[in-house]
């Protein structure tokens, strides 16, 4: 049975979609965004063992060439993450969809849905489909938090069990997208249109950094692509303030936007036809 | 309600009595009316306990296993009274010389006059009615702004003249303009009184209205949520929530509330077997007999049910009153008995401990349900999970898990679900949140809904860092308590309840919940 690498499960998330939700964070991402605020989720552990030497709680050890994590001993100090030279985490649990569901099931009365995030959740596509099926059978809503690199058009099975995608649009053009994430923007922009057309676009998200990114252009681009849908569909646009928190030291020179700047971006989005804009 | 820190022993000489009276008259921490109350209570306690009080009661009071909650030796009124204000607004009152009101201005003034002349065991009424049911027709005839202004002054008037945290009003389960206006006014007013309950039914109360209520609660600790279906089914369609969170019949109320201190009782037992076979039956039996004696005295030896104007005019009916069989300290009782049985499990953390908790309540419920009382509604007493008092060291409120030992939120709510069903006449738990709760009121509402799904019957929240908070079941301002500590008199009688080690715990040691953001 396949087991997906799970970084963590949050039993009560209020920022990953509407209402109270369980959020499942998978490990590993196919983007490498400079501003990533949880870079330890980007790569899989290569078992170099560096973290085992610095764990103050003795919760990490090497066994048969692999890093083994003792959940019980762990004090969640994140020293392992700080010393990891590889943007990975040794604190990964490999879980099947059924095992993940088992964790969620007891909390059913309190949540209205589950959201899968990451890392990039679509890298665990099979696990997500199975998990979402179980969720749907139990009356939950299902959301994907995705970087948009996945070819949704050719996976109707996934779309069928998903209520929507919270899609990151990180830049306005190929060049800047590659600079920021290391990957192409073309699938992302295609998905923006396709998901809106299929009624599967839960929200669009853009992290805003004055100076480093052409945020106005990104908003305009998103608006241009969504313009055929904005009149009849209330698509939420979440403008996210860049924050230093968690960002790797080498990328710490980005500037945090102030309220005024965010309001200016909100004005622009309103002008372009969005009605539901959230600044966080 | 006022609670005096004094010995409950009889006074032997005239001189001692005079000294005690002078002491009350000179007490700078009391306002004029609080002194008057204290003097009346002092006089009352010169009487003996009611005829028929079992001998064991004195021993079990001395050992702190039973508590009469400072009701006094010879109460001359029922403890909780829920007047039928609907009848009053429809028919007026000859005693008060009031005709039925014709508009909102008149209705609010009529109610204030009624409140002034009403009482409970203390001088303030513990139930002000269902504001939306009473006022909606009048409110709708006014401009929203005018209605808001009148309601605002009505609420302020209540807070300043009925300065007791056990004065309670209800709204819901339907959304209403009155309810909306009240939810808008309360955060601005930051009043301690009235204590407000939203009668909540997820199928009737619109989510937007419920979210407005939660937003309001985070800002001013009001309203709490009462699970409407439960109270309708177990108390009656015409129930009201009075005082802290007591589900009682409108047009009726409760004669008395006496409590078992289960934590203390368990300290007097060898093990759980001794508890179930000897000590618990003795305590339950004694409390039942004591309540019988007290109720008999209130009904047959006091003027209230014969001559009070509220009774005479049919705003309350003697046959709609119950006896409240109260208890505190289930958590300590379970933990002590587990330890005495050589086990380590604790209530809220161990299934076996919780099975024991349920077994204890089932045993008490069985005895209470078998007991016949000629005067109690349907001839039965009703169980009440009491919120605790200042002398409850070693006993957590009702069936609550001890502060500092609360499990994670979902587990905590499920735990409440195990115990709340035993207490139609009052139970509840409080879940303070930090500022993250404002970020997603839908999520907070999901948690409340989830709570009711798993069996919670009454729950509330407030902002952990706020000034106005829900202490046990009643509201208080931290700043008022500080004033009292500094020796200043404060208008609200209930501030005095928070003085002392045990009550302060309610204020400062509840686990404050936070969302991941």
Q: Is the pLDDT of residue B4 over 60?
A: no
| More confident: B163 or A197 | A197
Among B246, B262, B278, the domain-final residue is B246
B208 in contact with A, Cβ within 8 Å: no
How near does any CA of chain A get to the CA of B437, in Å?
9
In the numeric block, which tokens belong to residue B346?
A: 């604790």
What are the chain B neighbours of A12 within 8 Å (beta carbons)?
Answer: 409-410, 443, 447, 515-516
Q: Where are the domains of chain A?
A: 4-40+93-279, 45-83
Residue B319 lies in a domain: yes
Residue B457 lies in a domain: no
In the numeric block, which tokens belong to residue A159?
A: 């779309």
Q: Which helix (H) or strand (E) holds B286?
A: helix B280-300
B300 in contact with A, Cβ within 8 Å: no
List CB contacts of B368: < 8 A, sequence separation 6 or more. B284, B288, B325, B380, B381, B382, B383
CA distances from A272 to A227, A236, A261, A276, B490 (A): 8, 13, 17, 12, 57
Domain count, chain B: 2
ipTM: 0.90
Average of per-residue pLDDT across B36-57:
94
- Digit-coded pLDDT (tens) for B304-357: 999 999 999 999 999 999 999 999 999 999 999 999 999 999 999 999 999 999
Q: Is the pLDDT of residue B1 over 50?
A: no
Q: Is the pLDDT of residue A188 over 80?
A: yes
pLDDT grade for B163, boundaries at 50, 70 and 90: confident
The answer to whether B441 and A10 are in contact (CB under 8 A) is no
Range A45-83: architecture per CATH: 2-Layer Sandwich (3.30)
The confidence score (pLDDT) of residue B166 equals: 92
Rounded to the nearest 5°, which phi and psi values hold at A278?
A: -120, 130
CATH number of A4-40+93-279: 3.20.20.70
Residue B144 lies in a domain: yes
Residue B475 lies in a domain: no
What are the chain A neighbours of B516 within 8 Å (beta carbons)?
Answer: 10, 12-15
A19 in contact with B, Cβ within 8 Å: yes
Residue B323 lies in a domain: yes
Please indicate, yes or no, whether residues B290 and B388 belong to a single structural domain of this protein: yes
- Digit-coded pLDDT (tens) for B402-424: 999 999 999 999 999 999 999 99
DSSP A246: T
Number of H helices, E strands in chain A: 9, 11
Q: How far apart are CA B354 and CA B48, in angstroms?
A: 40
- Comparing A195-209, A257-271, B488-502, the range with the smallest average pLDDT is B488-502
Pick the residue of A7, A20, A114, A279 with the most B CBs within 10 A to test the interface with B by mutation. A20
Nearest to B443 among A14, A106, A107 (CB): A14
The percent of residues above 90 in pLDDT, for chain B, comes to 82
| More confident: B504 or A178 | A178
Pick the residue of A110, A203, A241 with the most B CBs within 10 A to test the interface with B by mutation. A110
Q: How far apart are CA B76 and CA A140, in angstroms?
A: 56
pLDDT grade for B516, boundaries at 50, 70 and 90: confident
Can you point out the beta strands (E) in B397-444?
429-430
The confidence score (pLDDT) of residue A13 equals: 92
- Cβ distance of B515 and A107 shorter than 8 Å: no
- Comparing A98-112, B130-144, B299-313, B500-514, the range with the smallest average pLDDT is B500-514
CA distances from A116 to A13, A33, B271, B293 (A): 11, 19, 50, 63
B514 in contact with A, Cβ within 8 Å: no
- Give the residue among A67, A66, A69, A137 at the shortest CA–CA distance from A97: A137
What are the chain B neighbours of A19 within 8 Å (beta carbons)?
Answer: 440, 442-443, 445-446
Find residues 391-430 of chain B whose CB sits inside 8 Å of chain A. 408-410, 413
Among B202, B228, B246, the domain-final residue is B246
A138 in contact with B, Cβ within 8 Å: no
Please indicate, yes or no, whether residues B384 and B419 belong to a single structural domain of this protein: yes
The percent of residues above 70 in pLDDT, for chain A, comes to 100
Please indicate, yes or no, whether residues B148 and B264 belong to a single structural domain of this protein: no
Residue B374 lies in a domain: yes
B443 in contact with A, Cβ within 8 Å: yes
The confidence score (pLDDT) of residue B12 equals: 59
Please indicate, yes or no, whether residues B294 and B233 belong to a single structural domain of this protein: no
Q: Is the pLDDT of residue B9 over 60?
A: no
- Digit-coded pLDDT (tens) for B441-478: 999 999 999 999 999 999 999 999 889 999 888 888 89
- Give the residue among B159, B165, B163 at the shortest CA–CA distance from B185: B159
B450 in contact with A, Cβ within 8 Å: yes
Nearest to B443 among A19, A106, A109 (CB): A19
Residue B187 lies in a domain: yes
Residue B497 lies in a domain: no
What sign for the dihedral angle of Cα A186, A192, A193, A198?
positive
Please indicate, yes or no, whether residues B87 and B206 belong to a single structural domain of this protein: yes
Nearest to A20 among B408, B413, B446 (CB): B446
pLDDT grade for B389, boundaries at 50, 70 and 90: confident
What are the chain B neighbours of A20 within 8 Å (beta carbons)?
Answer: 440, 442-444, 446-447, 450
Q: Is the pLDDT of residue B484 over 90?
A: no
- Digit-coded pLDDT (tens) for A56-92: 999 999 999 999 999 999 999 999 999 999 999 999 9
Q: Is the pLDDT of residue B511 over 70?
A: yes
Domain that holds residue B308: 47-76+252-423
How near does any CA of chain B get to the CA of A15, in Å?
6
- Digit-coded pLDDT (tens) for B201-258: 999 999 999 999 999 999 999 999 999 999 999 999 999 999 999 999 999 999 999 9
């Amino acid at each position: 049975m396949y087991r997906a690498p799970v970084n963590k499960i949050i039993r009560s998330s209020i920022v990953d979609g509407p209402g109270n939700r369980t959020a499942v964070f998978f490990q590993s991402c196919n983007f490498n965004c400079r501003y990533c605020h949880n870079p330890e989720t980007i790569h899989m552990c290569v078992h170099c063992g560096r973290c085992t030497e610095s764990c103050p709680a003795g919760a990490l050890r090497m066994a048969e060439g692999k890093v083994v994590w003792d959940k019980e001993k762990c004090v969640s100090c994140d020293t392992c993450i700080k010393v990891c030279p590889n943007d990975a985490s040794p604190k990964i649990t490999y879980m099947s969809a059924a095992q993940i569901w088992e964790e969620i099931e007891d909390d059913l009365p309190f949540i209205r849905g589950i959201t899968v995030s990451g890392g990039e959740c679509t890298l665990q596509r099979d696990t997500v489909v199975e998990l979402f099926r179980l969720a749907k059978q139990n009356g939950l809503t299902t959301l994907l938090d995705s970087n948009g690199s996945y070819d949704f058009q050719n996976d109707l099975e996934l779309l069928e069990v998903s209520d929507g995608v919270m899609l990151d649009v990180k830049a306005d053009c190929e060049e800047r997208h590659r600079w920021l994430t290391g990957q192409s923007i073309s699938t992302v922009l295609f998905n923006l249109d396709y998901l809106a057309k299929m009624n599967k676009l839960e929200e669009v998200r853009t992290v805003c950094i004055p100076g480093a990114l052409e945020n106005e252009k990104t908003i305009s681009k998103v608006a241009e692509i969504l313009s055929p849908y904005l009149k009849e569909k209330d698509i939420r646009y979440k403008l996210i303030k860049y924050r230093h928190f968690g960002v790797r030291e080498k990328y710490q020179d980005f500037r945090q936007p102030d309220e005024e700047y965010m309001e200016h971006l909100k004005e622009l989005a309103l002008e372009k036809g969005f009605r539901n804009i959230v600044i966080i | 309600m006022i609670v005096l820190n004094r010995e409950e022993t009889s006074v032997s000489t005239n001189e001692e009595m005079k000294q005690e009276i002078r002491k009350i008259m000179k007490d700078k921490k009391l306002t004029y009316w609080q002194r008057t109350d204290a003097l009346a209570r002092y006089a009352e306690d010169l009487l003996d306990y009611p005829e028929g009080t079992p001998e064991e009661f004195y021993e079990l009071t001395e050992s702190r296993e039973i508590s009469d909650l400072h009701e006094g030796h010879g109460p001359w009124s029922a403890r909780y009274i829920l007047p039928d204000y609907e009848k009053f607004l429809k028919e007026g009152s000859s005693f008060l010389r009031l005709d039925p009101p014709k508009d909102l201005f008149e209705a609010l003034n009529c109610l204030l006059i009624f409140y002034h002349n009403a009482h409970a065991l203390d001088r303030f009424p513990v139930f002000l009615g269902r504001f939306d049911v009473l006022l909606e027709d009048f409110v709708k005839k006014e401009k929203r702004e005018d209605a808001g202004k009148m309601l605002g002054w009505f609420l302020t008037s209540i807070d300043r003249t009925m300065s007791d945290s056990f004065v309670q009003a209800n709204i819901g389960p339907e959304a209403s303009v009155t309810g909306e206006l009240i939810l808008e006014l309360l955060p601005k007013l930051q009043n301690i009184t009235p204590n407000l309950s939203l009668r909540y039914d997820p199928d009737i109360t619109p989510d937007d209205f419920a979210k407005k209520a939660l937003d309001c609660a985070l800002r001013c600790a009001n309203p709490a949520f009462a699970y409407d279906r439960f109270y309708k089914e177990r108390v009656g369609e015409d129930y009201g929530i009075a005082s802290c969170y007591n589900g009682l019949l409108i047009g009726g109320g409760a004669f008395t509330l006496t409590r078992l201190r289960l934590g203390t009782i368990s300290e007097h037992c060898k093990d759980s077997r001794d508890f179930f076979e000897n000590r618990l039956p003795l305590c339950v039996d004694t409390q039942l007999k004591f309540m019988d004696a007290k109720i008999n005295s209130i009904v047959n030896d006091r003027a209230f049910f014969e001559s009070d104007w509220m009774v005479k005019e049919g705003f309350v009916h003697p046959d709609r009153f119950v006896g409240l069989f109260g208890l505190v300290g289930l958590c300590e009782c379970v933990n002590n008995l587990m330890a005495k049985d050589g086990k380590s499990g604790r209530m809220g953390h161990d299934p076996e401990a919780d099975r024991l908790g349920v077994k204890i309540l089932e045993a008490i419920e069985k005895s209470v349900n078998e007991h016949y009382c000629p005067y109690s509604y349907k001839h039965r007493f009703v169980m009440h999970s009491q919120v605790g008092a200042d002398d409850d060291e070693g006993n957590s409120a009702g069936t609550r898990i001890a502060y500092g030992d609360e499990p994670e939120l979902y587990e905590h709510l499920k735990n409440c679900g195990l115990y709340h069903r035993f207490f139609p006449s009052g139970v509840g738990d409080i879940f303070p949140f930090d500022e993250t709760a404002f970020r997603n009121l839908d999520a907070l509402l999901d948690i409340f809904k989830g709570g009711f799904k798993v069996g919670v019957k009454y729950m509330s929240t407030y902002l952990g860092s706020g000034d106005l908070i829900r202490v046990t079941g009643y509201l208080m301002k931290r700043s008022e308590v500080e004033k009292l500590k500094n020796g200043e008199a404060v208008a609200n009688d209930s501030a005095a309840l928070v003085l002392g080690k045990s009550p302060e715990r309610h204020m400062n040691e509840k686990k404050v919940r936070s969302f991941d953001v």
